[in-house]
Amino acid sequence: MPYGYNGRILRVNLSSGEISEERPDELFYRTYMGGSCIAAYYLLREMKPNIDPLGPDNILVFADSVVTGAPAPGFNRYTVGAKSPLTGGIGESQAAGFWGPELKFAGYDAIVIKGQSPKPVYLWIKDGKVEIRDAAHLWGRTTGEAQKLIREELNDVRVRIALIGPAGENLVRYACIVNELKHANGRTGMGAVMGSKNLKAIAVRGTNKPEFYNKDTITRLAKHFAANFLENPSVRGTHRLGTSELVSLQNVTGQLPTRNFRSGYFENADDISAEAIHEKLFVKAEGCYACPVTCKRVLKADHPYHVDPAYGGPEYESIAALGSACGVSDVVAVAKANELCNAFGLDTVSAGMSIAFAMECFENGLISREEANGLELKFGNANAMVRLVEAIAKRDGLGNLLAEGVKRSAEKLGKGSERFAMHVKGAEFPMHEPRVKGMLGLSYAVSPLGADHLTVEHDTDFDFNAPQVFLDQATPLGLLRRLPTSTIDSDKVRMFCYLQPHFSFLDVLGLCIFTFGPVRFFTMTHLVELVSAITGWETSLWEIMKAGERRVHMLRVFNCREGFNKKDDWLPERMFSPIEDGPAAGNKLDQEEFKDALKLYYEMMNWDVNTGIPSKAKLLELDLGWLLPEVESRQMESVS
């Protein structure tokens, strides 16, 4: 019998209404393990290249892993994958909370959704029984309104619901999927794919937890975490202040993205800091399934904006994107914009960066006040920022342009606006500064998802000021030395290549970065022990790292077959120009050094240095030989 997982994958065809399930064998689960790898498997196996990401041929996959739902901190995340309407390449995003474990308890490890419903619907899954239900009365509703109506209709307040808001229905290219109104599958536009299928929500309820191989070991390690996690400096900070603690830390070192990445220092950072949030807005802290860290913040305000605590509160990424990146120092306005993003179903990072792009265009005379919905769209205008969030979700006026993302917005606007579009592969920059952290710059460039800050652990966690515990916990990966933060030399590329599969397997197993090493509390030894205790497999760090490496190559092959190549692994020109002011003023990436680092990375990965296509030998080594036809066809096209 399987331990930790159900061995059942749900398949739903929204065009025909057909519902079925498949039961893969243990070899499938041990090879792909879950999350991102399972999603990529179905996309590569069953979807043709070059399809319209907002058409019925796109496949949408929700996937847990073999360890999701184990009663220990960090085992609560799930992946949503599809072809991205934002980048045109692989799209995926992870979310925490309670929805992922609930899907497992309802009897399924993943859901593969095909086709397009002729009318709005939602899925109802309870203990292995599945219904496609009418959602006409939910269409156009905010996430909060729709969740309330679904729970009333099902007469169960404990139903967990992943759903979209009006932004997804309006096909905003970076619309997200939200569960519990505050946990988002944020990046790459998975909410738009869900909206294109006329799928409003997936409601799940389960009462049957899977069997675990060694419950005593899981309980022992969960208790060990709960009793000792405050000893870890990183976890202690997120427990005390949430991820918003990073605002001040980033600012004092000159790496808080400010005014569309012109600067890394925001003179009003104290006004949007964790301390300001706790003083003015804080209601309580919340956590995810089986986790005592409670890093989530619930906020409330009445003036100058009403902020509804039902939608939680902004994470660091949201505070910086809607705050410093837009030059906005009104913390209540930032909290309100975050609430609107959760209610309408918008990725806060892409929304904030799209507004920051528009503000810089406005200040340079490329967008007029009339074109800007009558707003004085200057950096620092909090009211304009809040109003544009809603305009984007509704595709109203300038919001219709910005709903396309900064890459398409710049292409349509022209006038040299491309230089203000901070993106890679069409995905807007997250809130971390590549000109301060060199390895992060490489991660933005080569990530198959576009600019992504969760491709590797950041340079600052292994520099000469990092806590010794971080270095100690990284030694099982073969990382034995501290390295300067801003460099991108051969030692840093090697570090990147060792850390990338580590972060990648977190997305395969659905593990939270705030609980696992090398920076957080659970060590690599704990990880292996937990996976073995959950599944009954005699596993190792080697096998788990290989799962992460397999994911990287599956996502790379997907992008290769969609026409992406080496030229797409690059950064905006602003990254090769100096930071304007602050503690890191003058920092920049050197183009030639970056080219050398990129070439070395390809060589270490065993990819073609001219095209970035993975080699036949590497795919065979990772048991991905079935992808060779995709790779060989791309190689022939690149030669011709």
At 141 the pLDDT is 98
Decide if pLDDT at 636 tops 90: no
Summarised one tens digit per residue, pLDDT across range 434-466 is 999 999 999 999 999 999 999 999 999 999 999
Summarised one tens digit per residue, pLDDT across range 143-180 is 999 999 999 999 999 999 999 999 999 999 999 999 99
Decide if pLDDT at 616 tops 60: yes
Decide if pLDDT at 344 tops 90: yes
Decide if pLDDT at 334 tops 70: yes
Decide if pLDDT at 277 tops 80: yes
Residues 6+ positions from 506 with CB-CB distance below 8 Å:
512, 513, 516, 548
141 phi and psi, to 5 degrees?
-85, 150
Share of the chain above pLDDT 90, in %: 98
CA-to-CA separations, 74 to 412, 539, 574, in angstroms, rounded: 42, 19, 36
At 517 the pLDDT is 83
Q: How far apart are CA 242 and CA 257, in angstroms?
A: 19
For the chain, list the domains and their CATH numbers.
9-205 (3.60.9.10), 244-428 (1.10.569.10), 438-639 (1.10.599.10)
Decide if pLDDT at 640 tops 70: no
Q: What is the DSSP letter of 522?
A: B
Structure tokens at 514: 């705030």
| Average pLDDT over every residue of 113-118 | 98
Res. 639 pLDDT band, cuts 50 70 90: low
Q: How far apart are CA 414 and CA 206, in angstroms?
A: 51
If you write DSSP's letter for every residue of 422-443 in order, what string do you get? Answer: -EETTEEP-SS-TTT-HHHHHH
Res. 633 pLDDT band, cuts 50 70 90: confident
Summarised one tens digit per residue, pLDDT across range 360-381 is 999 999 999 999 999 999 999 9
The crossing angle, in degrees rounded to 10, of helices 348-363 and 382-394 is 120
| Average pLDDT over every residue of 111-116 | 98
Tell me the pTM.
0.98
If you write DSSP's letter for every residue of 163-186 in order, what string do you get? Answer: E--HHHHTT-TTB-EEETTTEEE-
**How far is C-alpha 484 from the chain's CA centre?**
27
Q: Work out the number of other CB atoms within 10 angstroms of the CB of residue 310.
A: 17
Share of the chain above pLDDT 70, in %: 99
Summarised one tens digit per residue, pLDDT across range 283-302 is 999 999 999 999 999 999 99
Summarised one tens digit per residue, pLDDT across range 9-56 is 999 999 999 999 999 999 999 999 999 999 999 999 999 999 999 999
Summarised one tens digit per residue, pLDDT across range 556-609 is 999 999 999 999 999 999 999 999 999 999 999 999 999 999 999 999 999 999
- Intra-chain end-to-end CA distance of the chain, in Å: 51
**3-state secondary structure (DSSP) of residue 482:** coil
Closest to 502 measured CA to CA, from 519, 483, 488: 519
Q: What is the DSSP letter of 1?
A: -
Residue type at 547 in one-letter notation: A
Q: How far apart are CA 259 and CA 262, in angstroms?
A: 6
208-233 b/e (C-beta count within 10 Å ≥ 16 → b)? eebebbbeebbeebbeebeeebeebe
Q: How far apart are CA 55 and CA 316, in angstroms?
A: 34
User: How do beta strands 9-13 and 110-114 pair?
Assistant: parallel
Summarised one tens digit per residue, pLDDT across range 205-251 is 999 999 999 999 999 999 999 999 999 999 999 999 999 999 999 99
| Average pLDDT over every residue of 78-95 | 98
Task: Assess whether the previous peptide bond of 24 is cis (omega < 30° from 0).
Answer: no
Three-class secondary structure assignment of 329-378: CCHHHHHHHHHHHHHHCECHHHHHHHHHHHHHHHHCCCCCCCCCCCCCCC
Summarised one tens digit per residue, pLDDT across range 469-519 is 999 999 999 999 999 999 999 999 999 999 999 999 999 999 999 999 899
| Average pLDDT over every residue of 303-320 | 98
What average pLDDT is seen over the chain? 97
Q: What is the DSSP letter of 211?
A: P
